[in-house]
Amino acid sequence: MKKVFQIYVFGEILWDLLPSGKKLGGAPANFAYHANILGGQAWVKSRIGNDSFGAEVQSILASHNISLDFVEIDPVLPTGTVVVHLNENGQPSYEIVENVAWDNIQSDNKFLADLKNADAFYFGSLAARSENNLRILLSLLNSLPEKSLKVFDLNLRNPFYSKEIIRQLLKKTTVFKLNDEELLILAEMFADEIPTTLSICDSLFTQNSLNLLETKVIEWIRAFIQYYQLKHLILTCGSSGSFLWDSQGNSSFAPAEKVNIIDTVGAGDSFTAVCVLGLLKNIPLDKINRNANRYASFICSQSGAMPTVPNQFLDFE
């Protein structure tokens, strides 16, 4: 019998208000959806409003077999919403409403007790924008078993991040995921700790080959992994492909598959879900990377972050 990995998720559940209509989203909810259909058991710790949007959240999560056990209902604050704008290439920009239910996630003794079973714990920087959530998140991270993967999805959204918050979370992290734009911001932000010549005006890639990162980028990433004692780092670069590293210096590159892009909302979250399940199963980095690219490319060809995924994309053994 295959092991069903227990994956705990902390953070925002919200509605992405897309040009084509509203879709349930938020990186943690998206990640949980994909972790579940990939064979894990995801448990979401979040908070929604006592409103019609919140009722729809409960209905959709239940239809996707995502447990509602740790999804709290706030009696006052509304369910979170994000207005999503897509450019001509399908790349999203976001208007994230503040002071909503997921900013006010509460402590929960049952959730804390259940964390002893965690094979992985996923969290992002956006959920830590409120002091309340940051305090609870750090407490949960301190309570996790040593063996569990602590998966930090950087997910930078202006103005909802700071160097100090990111630093606190990195100190608790074993698997760090970010994209190419976030890497350049991070390199400037942490230049005092890990010196770099990178800037947000730089290209990450050599001019003659998009599958080779600039040497100075690779050197900085490896220094960053060692500085924060990460076990793995995941870097997605959109249509240029993706990279995985481990703490032993092993690395993997995989090109992105060519698809007709409808939108890219949730593609990074689906990529992370494939990586986490792959790491839990001890699948080699190259195979994880190829599988994640194939899966995320399919998500880009669909509308919204939680489409139905055909079985042909779910076989990663």
Give the residue, 243 or 260, on which the prediction is more confident.
243
Model pLDDT, residue 316: 63
Q: Where are the beta strands (DSSP E) in the chain?
A: 6-10, 14-18, 21-25, 41-49, 71-74, 80-86, 92-96, 120-124, 149-153, 175-179, 205-206, 209-213, 232-236, 242-246, 251-254
Model pLDDT, residue 209: 45
Amino acid at 289: N
Q: What are phi and psi of 179, to 5 degrees?
A: -110, 180
Q: Average pLDDT, stretch 119-142?
A: 97
Model pLDDT, residue 213: 67
Q: Report whether 245 contacts 188 (CB < 8 A).
A: no
pLDDT band at 199 (very low <50, low <70, confident <90, very high): low
pLDDT, tens digit (0-9, with 9 covering 90-100), for 67-118? 999 999 999 999 999 887 878 777 777 789 999 999 999 999 999 999 999 9
Q: Which helix (H) or strand (E) holds 213?
A: strand 209-213
Q: How far apart are CA 285 and CA 271, in angstroms?
A: 13
Model pLDDT, residue 204: 66
Helical spans, DSSP H, in 190-309: 215-227, 267-280, 285-300
Question: Is a pLDDT exceeding 80 seen at residue 223?
Answer: yes
Name the token pair of 307: 């489409």
Tell whether pTM > 0.75.
yes
